[in-house]
Amino acid sequence: MKRIATLLLFMTSFVALAQQQFFVGKDSDLLTGKSVTIKEGKSSYSGFYKDSDLTKILFKKGIGSDPEKLKGLIFEVKGSMKHPKSYMDEIVLVLENKDQGTIYYSYMSKYESTFLLDVVGGLTPPEGFLCSRLSPMKDKFSSKVITDTPTNFEYSITKIEENGANRIYLRLQLYGTTLNIGKTGLKILFSDGTVLEKPDVKINSKVDTAGYVYSCFINLSKGDIEILSNKTITDYSLYIYERKIKDNNAYELKDYLKCLSK
């Protein structure tokens, strides 16, 4: 019985981790009424407070919270509130736990990597939800109308409308360990096991503070758009360099393409 219970616990944990964890960013209302747990394995845990003034750190240890005391706790998201110090990019979630009562979690709405909560059972917003984050801009010097997805290291999508014609471009980007110039080759892997290959795509390279950055910028065909807006990317490669795409970015890329191709 003990072995069966252990197996069931493992399977439950695996399923929970496999669920889509969409990063809400500034749209914190999507979390209201949801149950959340603390992400494990992070190097630091900050942003958790016992008071609405955000002065008393929950389970204080050093400059943050003790991860061992946070581990395993389940909170219900009751809503959100304005940050008492009015930081533009920070949002405060009001959380409730049967033992700890009401606590407050402050997070940066622009940085998914620092968000320390997982939604129990996962969170996937309604299809088309991301369309509200897109803002077409009229070019000052031409008849072009340009729509860009929000800034993201791994990908961006640009739609250009001009004289009744539409073009949609995809940029993919990753880091490489060595410098290579003038190379070609793009491969995109999907969750269903299929692969989209474009061996002739030009790969651009540059150097930044974190290393060598490789990218491609391609004009998507109707066939490409059909595939990319209906399948989920898991990995991609540029020349010989590979990257596993973040789950949240894979979801966003697919949904943004649906918005832009309407």
Residue-by-residue pLDDT tens, the chain, 262 positions: 444 443 333 333 333 334 567 889 889 999 999 999 999 888 889 999 999 999 999 999 999 999 999 999 999 999 999 888 876 789 999 999 999 999 999 999 888 888 999 999 988 888 788 998 999 999 989 999 999 998 889 999 999 999 889 999 999 999 999 999 999 999 999 999 999 999 999 999 999 888 899 999 999 999 999 999 999 999 999 999 999 999 889 999 999 999 999 8
Question: Based on the domain organization, do 95 and 188 belong to the same domain?
Answer: no
C-alpha distances (whole Å) from 92 to each of 54, 89, 114, 120 are 9, 10, 14, 19
pTM for the predicted model, two decimal places:
0.77
Q: Are residues 115 and 149 in the same domain?
A: no
For residues 21, 22, 23, 29, the Cα torsion angle rounded to the nearest 10 degrees is -110
Quick check: is 245 in a domain? Answer: yes
User: Residues 37, 38, 39, 41: is their CA dihedral positive or negative?
Assistant: negative
Q: Are 163 and 96 contained in the same domain?
A: no
Same domain for 230 and 136, yes or no, is yes
Do 252 and 133 lie in one domain? The reply is yes
CA dihedral 246, 252, 258, 261 (to 10 degrees): -90
Residue ending a domain, among 119, 146, 163, is 119
- Domain extent at residue 73: 17-119
Q: Note whether 109 and 137 are same-domain residues.
A: no
Spatial strand order of the sheet with 184-190 comes to 195-202, 184-190, 233-238, 241-244
**101 & 137 share domain:** no
What CATH number did the domain enclosing 233 receive? 2.60.40
Listed in sequence order, the residues at least 6 apart from 71 whose beta carbon sits closer than 8 Å to its beta carbon are: 38, 40
Integer CA distances (angstroms), 207 to 23, 26, 60, 177, 185, in order: 29, 32, 40, 11, 19
Residue with tokens 């791994």: 154
Boundary (domain end) residue, out of 88, 119, 150: 119
Which of 119, 152, 170 finishes a domain?
119
98 domain residue, yes or no: yes
Domain contains 150: yes
Note whether 112 and 141 are same-domain residues.
no
Is 190 contained in some domain? yes
The answer to whether position 196 is within a domain reads: yes
- Residue 106 lies inside a defined structural domain of this protein: yes
In a domain, 143, yes or no: yes
Please state the domain count of the chain: 2
| 76 domain residue, yes or no | yes
135 and 23 inside one domain: no
